[in-house]
Structure 1
């Protein structure tokens, strides 16, 4: 039986032709397609109350945190930067509860973009609320070309799960204006852009099997097929007992 992977959903409001608004729980199709191709069965976890997180985690083998809105800076005790984007406190609360419960149950977690940032905050780390605050900024981290194209390179720590998948250098897409500032105490950085921003993290405790990337590998699968190795690496972590 294939592992069941819960993908945290988020709410998007749609305006129908008759101008009725309704909310949808969604995740990117490219993400669920990549997970299925890697050998798991993905299911969408609808945005819910924090107290319901345990019920969801009990029923899955691993958790994936998708991209999305900015992380609320109040979670790491900062006032909002003038360039802060849209936040969704209910999503923050639910996903933080999912992270806490998955951590307790030692179920693997894979974070993408916002997912990396929220994992870091959950572990007492902080964020640059906008990369313009980063003193050594030299790389464009908010690409204007389509997301299916890679736009900058990263260096990967040799002794890491990520390097087992991609080696020590890779090109990635980039669409984020928040980034890790102070690393959370449960993680270590394992990849960096050429200007030094952290592009991937992994749990220090290897029994926790948590990895996260700052880019969107699900959107590169068709143009850079080797990107699938990231998802297969995560599935390998799920299958290790």
Structure 2
């Protein structure tokens, strides 16, 4: 590898963030994301929400893209009415990240969606979501773990050939798959835990869990290698 590939990671946009004497609006990213990129051999850069028309220019400067976890995708994005248990919309982030995904797919840029990022990838390609799922976020604010099994012959299986225990925290999941997407890992209850877009010249993977909260580098390392 000639140099460490530059991996962009999308961020939150939150009000009321505090540091020192300040309480201001801030672009935030849990430190596990850049640390995971770095530990896997990449350089991490943050991509705060911006006007969607700037997404292609941002993607053109990257070697790989991560769409991070976060709030629920607005149900209107996939033609559904909001369930009472669905969180409030993050419309600026939805618009920005959908534009990033579309630009990355058009540019054949290696792309990894994490939790919300996997769900948004599915929505970007015309898929839908289950708005509430029991059993995958047992305690509020606490990551659980559960096993996932790869589908043989997939990108995910190439990176993680056997069953793995993964850090998980989500109450939504993929329902109807978006165009061209295929499942590449399942939980024991049948929930799609990873999906991907098989192409001859691309690397596109989404995982429902949070690799940034664990020690397993294999998924991020696969992205970094594809971006190199």
TM-score in same-fold range (> 0.5)? yes
The equivalent of 1:224 in structure 2 is none
Query: Which of 141, 149, 154 is 2:148 aligned to?
Result: 154
Please tell me the root mean square deviation across aligned C-alpha atoms, in Å. Answer: 1.8
Alpha-carbon shift at residue 199 of structure 1 (Å): 0.1
Q: Deviations over 1:164-187 (max 9, x none)?
A: 222231111221111000111121
Q: Deviations over 1:109-162 (max 9, x none)?
A: 000000000000000000001115xxxxxxx20032843xx5211111121222
Task: Give the TM-score normalised by structure 1.
Answer: 0.88
Task: Give the TM-score normalised by structure 2.
Answer: 0.93
Alpha-carbon shift at residue 15 of structure 1 (Å): 5.2
- Helix, strand or coil: the match of 1:48? coil
C-alpha separation between the residues in 2 aligned to 1:4 and 1:17? 28
The equivalent of 2:102 in structure 1 is 100
C-alpha separation between the residues in 1 aligned to 2:180 and 2:223? 18
Number of equivalences = 225
Say yes or no: does 1:177 pair with 2:171.
yes
Conservation of the 8 A alpha-carbon contact between 1:157 and 1:168? no
Q: Deviations over 1:53-95 (max 9, x none)?
A: 1121111111100000000110110111111112201110011
Say yes or no: does 1:49 pair with 2:38.
no
- Helix, strand or coil: the match of 2:158? helix
Alpha-carbon shift at residue 217 of structure 1 (Å): 0.7
Say yes or no: does 1:236 pair with 2:225.
yes
C-alpha separation between the residues in 2 aligned to 1:185 and 1:17? 43
C-alpha separation between the residues in 2 aligned to 1:200 and 1:206? 19
Note the residue ranges of structure 1 that are not aligned, 5 or more in a row. Answer: 133-139, 222-226
- Helix, strand or coil: the match of 2:217? helix
Written as runs of structure 1 = structure 2, the 5 A alignment for 1:7-46 is 7-14=9-16, 16=18, 21-46=23-48
Displaced runs of 4 or more, over 3 A: 15-21
- Helix, strand or coil: the match of 2:219? helix
